[in-house]
Structure 1
Amino acid sequence: MVSFRTSLDHVWLLARQDLVDRHRENALGAAWLLLQPLAFIALFSTVFSHFMRSRLGTYADPYLYTVYLISGLLMWNLFSNIVSRLAAVYSGKAHLIRKISVNLWIMPLHIVVSEWVVYVIAMSFFAVFLLVIGHPIGPQWCLLPAVALLLSALAYGLGVMLGTIDVFVPDVKNVLNIVLQFGFWLTPVVYLADILPLWAEHLMHFNPVFWAVDATHGIVVWHRWPPLEEFAALAVTCVVSLVASRALLARLQAEVRDLL
């Protein structure tokens, strides 16, 4: 039985190694952790500064759609990166699982830690960008980490379940890539929900990722507090996801270790 402290040590070591390995073969190395979000923000602030301004109801702020787009993309990328990487976590770390005793439910946390480092760096640059263009950062921002944390917990539960199933059915990763493509365009990240037919707009409110993206847009773009019912629903969905993933892994853990 692996102790909780040992499991956390594994998480930090794997997270650090993951961040190092991302750009190990690049000449600039870890500098890409800073350059990529900078390029991301520069691209969207330049290309989309005038696009869809009329849909946002203002011509006074040329950067409003850019703020809408980047804030939504950063939240979506956090979710999709965690889910897609966790879907291959056990098969990808089979060599490690065979050699040392690891807690299979806690070990994948290193992916969440790694993705949060990237997310925090990108959000920091984004906040500086907002200050430069004069877009206010209101008190609502204090809830932004909570929204990101809840969405990450949802992604963790889903990812661990998919990673467990992937050991038995390797096609899971390919199917997930398609599902995430559809999920991206079915979530109002690059467009506003009000351009959809009324029935489709109503269906959006059953999508947990929409709750997080919508809360992010409200906080960052319009300086609104997230709707309490959506925030609470996201929290409940996260708990269900985590409990289900723990139960599935506990049931299949012996078979997972045998197959790996």
Structure 2
Amino acid sequence: MFGMLRGIWDYRGFILTSIKNEFISRFARSKLGGLWMIIHPLAQVAIYALILSNVLGARLPGIENKYAYALYLIAGILAWNLFAEIIGRCLTVFIDQGNLMKKMRFPRIALPLIVVGSCLLNNLLLFAAVMIIFAVLGHAPNVQMLWLLPLTLAVVALAVGIGLVLGVLNVFLRDIGQVVPIIMQVWFWFTPIVYSVNIVPDYLKGTLDANPMYPIVSAYHNVLVYKVAPNLAEIGGIFVVALCLMVLGLFLFRRASAEMVDSL
């Protein structure tokens, strides 16, 4: 473990430069550049809001704003996009960078770190846009938003734990790469993002307890929309789950790192 941390520190310049170059290269020939990272999720919000706000907007208690549903939706998608993007990119990061792993000598754990850094940069740009939209819609920032720092850490830890496990397994069993996007779509709709939890039938509410993203998305709603502190006990439980998954992911990574290069 200490050797892995030392390798990360020794190659910190490589990691930071890779994050910067990746961001630049993704939008090198685009007129709007990094704005597309903001436009895509906000377009998703607009579509859901136009279709569903008339149905669900009146069922959001405790929000004194005529744009309540849009605020609720934006807060949930801010959390989910970071989670889904990290998992999606960790899923294929070793396959996508197979040639680099064969040609260069560097700590392989740097690849997931580059993914996390890039995703956090994208999420930061989206958050800045969200703050502007909230202000335009009459929902001023509040001190509770400081809770977003540990909440973002919880999202990243959970996503990295899951993504690292899936990324390693996907090298040896490529069917995983086909199944995971389907699971993520189902997972999205089983998380109260486009609907409020108060409309979920009682016989289905028990399933939310098995969804680790439910406490996180609820915490984002509490902080950004309802302006209250999150449930710390629930978030603490998510950190424990995320830590266990990260330990499992690192164990699989250390055991399989040599074989991964041969398989690629």
TM-score of the aligned structures, taking structure 2 as reference length? 0.89
* Contact preservation (8 Å) 2:94, 2:111: no
**Corresponding residue of 1:168:** 172
Q: Deviation string for 1:42-75 (max 9, x for gaps)?
A: 6667666655221113795211110000110111
Distance 1:51 1:6 in 2: 54
**Corresponding residue of 2:184:** 180
- Of the three residues 249, 254, 259, the one matched with 2:258 is 254
- Of the three residues 145, 152, 155, the one matched with 1:151 is 155
Question: Which is richer in helix?
Answer: 2
* Contact preservation (8 Å) 1:15, 1:110: yes
**Corresponding residue of 2:105:** 101
* Contact preservation (8 Å) 2:158, 2:241: yes
**Corresponding residue of 2:71:** 67
Q: Pick which of 237-246 and 32-41 moved more.
A: 32-41
Once the two structures are TM-superposed, the CA of residue 105 in structure 1 deviates from its matched residue by 2.2
* Contact preservation (8 Å) 1:157, 1:238: yes
Once the two structures are TM-superposed, the CA of residue 32 in structure 1 deviates from its matched residue by 3.3
Q: Equivalent residue of 1:104, what SS?
A: coil
* Contact preservation (8 Å) 1:194, 1:201: no
**Corresponding residue of 2:21:** 17
CA 1:38 to 1:69, structure 2 compared with 1: closer, same or farther past 3 Å? closer
CA 1:98 to 1:90, structure 2 compared with 1: closer, same or farther past 3 Å? same
**Corresponding residue of 2:11:** 7
Off by >4 Å, runs of 4+ in structure 1:
33-51
TM-score of the aligned structures, taking structure 1 as reference length? 0.91
Identity of aligned residues (%): 29
Structure 2: which 5+ residue stretches go unaligned?
A: none
CA 1:208 to 1:38, structure 2 compared with 1: closer, same or farther past 3 Å? closer
**RMSD (CA atoms):** 2.3
Q: Pick which of 40-49 and 239-248 moved more.
A: 40-49
CA 1:125 to 1:30, structure 2 compared with 1: closer, same or farther past 3 Å? closer
Give the letter aligned to residue 179 of structure 2. V
**Corresponding residue of 2:96:** 92
* Contact preservation (8 Å) 1:7, 1:107: no
Give the letter aligned to residue 166 of structure 1. N
**Corresponding residue of 1:208:** 212
Q: Deviation string for 1:19-47 (max 9, x for gaps)?
A: 12222333443453455566566666766
Once the two structures are TM-superposed, the CA of residue 220 in structure 1 deviates from its matched residue by 1.1
Once the two structures are TM-superposed, the CA of residue 117 in structure 1 deviates from its matched residue by 1.1
